[in-house]
């Protein structure tokens, strides 16, 4: 009886890093080494199937470097990264790792390969050797999942930033990955584009039950996450549910992270003596709690 | 201003020519070019022109768009004509100073004009009726046999289509950098050629830097989506020959055989040669 149980547990963890360390050698203009930078310092992050995990951190905190490890673009200096039961350093499994962990990058212009939206979404499945007929059905379902089906015949140049990013997400979805890693997908977008993309990402998690790892420095994007990891200087400095994390306003501010508006207001009110609970996340919550105080 | 450049210009409309398989069109261009360079008498050219006109008619592309392509080669055309006109030895037609125009020179010059014009019109009809994407697909599939010689056809086709995809993005970027430099007081308009060329350096350097950065990002994105070269890939839109493609092939080969045979048939060629001697050299 013990064996199947163990297998089941293993398959629950889509991503697991064990004491992940990544170092690179800094070089001057002539290429002489000047020192070693530790970009990731003993990082332990595990993500279970169907979870929405947020990874927060300001620039240079190592969050993008971490993302690149999950897709075998970078390899650990020390420790291991297990994706869908496969070690990312296993060269025979390289393409299996990459197709299980789909990656969406920051700049939409630099990751759209096709000249027509639907062709770009079909690029991943084409690379995986999926039969033509199935490519078409995958393209259709992926575009529908991000709400871009009506733009399928447009040229990517004609789309807005938020739409381009949704196409990129569809392109990854069409590969049928086990999880999607989004590396600051909204950093180059305007507020309305950001909302669009965040809504699409939440939809994937809620409706399609897709495991999502969202890497960002906008805290309001991860309010609905199941768990949050906060990174600073290559280390995981905080982890927990959004409520737990956002209760620690001073700690977050020390890490130069912006706390979402309602949380911040609630915290200030509480400091001034209003009996509010910790970790208020949304406006609605804040309103109900204030009403209770009357 | 830069955006006026159109590469692989495509004329959007619906026609048989547009629907034709790109491989048919590519092979057709090749055969047509071979044909027009083998003709020895006017009958061949007449057949060639009839063929060209029929294709243009079938493509529904306005003739204006096709002749546009000729403007680009006007200088080459002129140069070829002048060289042929003056440097072909033979019977003198007119001579002044040290230059002589010969009857043979006129004949050769006229043939060259005819051949080059037909060549350009014939090939622009193909680019005008085929999307760049379709064209690369056609090249990839049509040259697939080269894989035996270890030519990475799939990779080259991928490079071509990415280059095409990035042309508008890089043009936009150039525009942006030029505006940024103009805002800093750069002057691209005045001065002689050397000065203008030097003024472009502050545009080209950031453009190249950003192009390389983009290339790096794109390569990473492609790898993340499991691109590992052309082998083992399937196609979302595979090229499959239809009935009209087979008909087009038959028509094409029939035209080739008949026009080359007529264009080189010694009876006809001799007839025109004697006509020429009778009329002119008398």
Residues B110 and B10 in one domain: yes
Chain B contact set for A95 (CB, 8 A): 226, 228
* CB proximity A196 to B under 8 Å: no
Nearest chain A Cα distance for residue B147, angstroms: 18
pLDDT confidence of residue B16 = 86
Bridge partners of residue A183, in order along the sequence: A215
Residues B70 and B163 in one domain: no
Give the residue-averaged pLDDT of B166-194: 86
Residues B69 and B194 in one domain: no
* CB proximity B227 to A under 8 Å: yes
Residues B250 and B204 in one domain: no
Chain B contact set for A132 (CB, 8 A): 234-238
Poorest-confidence range of A150-164, B62-76, B148-162, B215-229? B62-76
Report ipTM for this prediction: 0.83
Which tokens go with A224?
């609905």
Chain B contact set for A105 (CB, 8 A): 217, 220-221, 224
**CB-CB under 8 Å, A116 with B214:** no
Separation CA A119–CA A112 (nearest Å): 10
Strand B99-102 relative to strand B92-96, pairing? antiparallel
Chain A contact set for B222 (CB, 8 A): 113
Residues B186 and B247 in one domain: no
* CB proximity B12 to A under 8 Å: no
Chain B contact set for A127 (CB, 8 A): 225-228, 233
**CB-CB under 8 Å, A102 with B233:** no
Q: Which domain holds residue B168?
A: 153-229
Residues B8 and B89 in one domain: yes
* CB proximity B7 to A under 8 Å: no
* CB proximity B89 to A under 8 Å: no
Summarised one tens digit per residue, pLDDT across range B245-279 is 999 999 999 988 998 888 888 888 888 888 877 77
Summarised one tens digit per residue, pLDDT across range B205-222 is 999 999 999 999 999 999
Does 3.40.50.720 match the CATH number of domain A50-75+86-242?
no
Partner-chain residue, chosen from A115, A122, A127, that has the shortest CB–CB distance to B227: A127
Partner-chain residue, chosen from A99, A110, A126, that has the shortest CB–CB distance to B234: A126
Nearest chain B Cα distance for residue A177, angstroms: 10
Summarised one tens digit per residue, pLDDT across range A254-278 is 888 878 888 888 888 888 887 877 7
Which residue of chain A comes nearest to B170, CA vs CA?
A: A109
Summarised one tens digit per residue, pLDDT across range A173-189 is 999 998 999 999 998 88
Separation CA B265–CA B44 (nearest Å): 9
Partner-chain residue, chosen from B165, B225, B236, that has the shortest CB–CB distance to A135: B236
Separation CA A61–CA A233 (nearest Å): 5
Tokens 């409520």 found at: A243
pLDDT confidence of residue B8 = 52
Residues B176 and B36 in one domain: no
Residues B103 and B206 in one domain: no
Nearest chain A Cα distance for residue B213, angstroms: 9
Name the helix (H) or strand (E) containing A117. Answer: helix A117-128
Domain count, chain B: 2
Residues B119 and B53 in one domain: yes
**CB-CB under 8 Å, B233 with A129:** yes
Residue B55 within any structural domain of the chain: yes
Partner-chain residue, chosen from A113, A128, A157, that has the shortest CB–CB distance to B162: A113
Residue B124 within any structural domain of the chain: yes
Residues B215 and B248 in one domain: no
- Which sequence spans correspond to the domains of chain A? 50-75+86-242
Give the residue-averaged pLDDT of A78-84: 89
């Amino acid at each position: 009886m013990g064996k199947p149980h163990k297998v089941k547990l293993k398959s629950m963890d889509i991503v697991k890093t064990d004491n992940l360390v990544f170092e690179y050698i800094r070089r001057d203009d002539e290429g002489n080494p000047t020192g070693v930078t530790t970009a990731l310092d003993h990082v332990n992050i595990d993500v279970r199937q169907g979870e929405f995990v947020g990874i927060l951190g300001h620039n240079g905190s190592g969050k993008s470097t971490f993302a690149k490890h999950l897709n075998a673009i970078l390899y650990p200096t020390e420790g291991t990264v297990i994706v869908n039961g496969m070690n990312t350093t296993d060269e025979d499994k390289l393409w299996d790792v990459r197709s299980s962990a789909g990656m969406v990058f920051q700049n939409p212009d630099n990751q759209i390969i096709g000249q027509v939206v639907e062709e770009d979404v079909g690029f991943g499945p084409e690379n995986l050797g999926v039969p033509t007929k199935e490519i078409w059905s995958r393209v259709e379902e992926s575009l529908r999942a991000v709400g871009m089906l009506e733009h399928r015949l447009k040229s990517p140049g004609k789309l807005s930033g938020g739409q381009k990013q949704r196409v990129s997400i569809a392109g990854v979805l069409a590969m049928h990955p086990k999880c999607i890693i989004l590396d600051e997908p909204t950093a180059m977008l305007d507020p309305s584009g950001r909302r669009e993309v965040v809504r699409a990402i939440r939809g994937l998690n809620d409706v399609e039950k897709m495991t999502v790892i969202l890497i960002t420095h906008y805290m309001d994007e991860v309010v609905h996450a199941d768990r949050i990891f906060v990174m600073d200087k290559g280390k995981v400095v905080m982890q927990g549910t959004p409520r737990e994390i956002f209760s620690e306003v001073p700690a977050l501010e020390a890490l130069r992270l912006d706390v979402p508006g309602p949380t911040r207001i609630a915290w200030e009110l509480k400091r001034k003596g209003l009996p509010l609970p910790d970790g208020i996340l949304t406006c609605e919550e804040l309103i109900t709690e204030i009403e209770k105080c009357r | 201003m830069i955006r006026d450049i159109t590469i692989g210009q495509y004329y959007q409309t619906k026609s048989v020519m547009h629907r034709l398989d790109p491989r048919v069109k590519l092979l057709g261009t090749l055969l047509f070019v071979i044909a027009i360079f083998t003709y020895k008498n006017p009958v061949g050219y007449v057949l060639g022109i009839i063929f060209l006109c029929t294709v243009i008619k079938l493509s529904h592309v306005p003739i204006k768009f096709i002749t546009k392509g000729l403007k680009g080669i006007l200088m080459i055309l002129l140069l070829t004509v002048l060289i042929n006109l003056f440097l072909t030895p033979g019977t003198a037609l007119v001579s002044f100073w040290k230059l002589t125009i010969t009857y043979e020179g006129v004949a050769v010059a006229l043939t060259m004009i005819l051949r080059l014009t037909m060549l350009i019109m014939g090939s622009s009809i193909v680019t005008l009726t085929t999307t760049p994407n379709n064209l690369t697909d056609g090249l990839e599939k049509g040259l697939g046999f080269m894989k035996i010689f270890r030519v990475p056809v799939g990779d080259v086709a991928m490079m071509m289509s990415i280059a095409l995809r990035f042309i508008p993005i890089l043009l936009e970027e150039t525009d942006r950098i030029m505006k940024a430099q103009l805002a800093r007081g750069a002057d691209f308009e005045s001065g002689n050629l050397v000065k203008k060329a030097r003024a472009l350096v502050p545009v080209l350097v950031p453009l190249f830097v950003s192009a390389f950065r983009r290339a790096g990002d794109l390569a990473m994105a492609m790898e993340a989506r499991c691109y590992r070269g052309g082998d083992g890939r399937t196609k979302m839109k595979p090229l499959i020959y239809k009935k009209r493609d087979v008909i087009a092939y038959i028509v094409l080969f029939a035209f080739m055989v008949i026009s080359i045979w007529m264009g080189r048939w010694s009876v006809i060629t001799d007839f025109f040669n004697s006509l020429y001697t009778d009329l002119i050299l008398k």
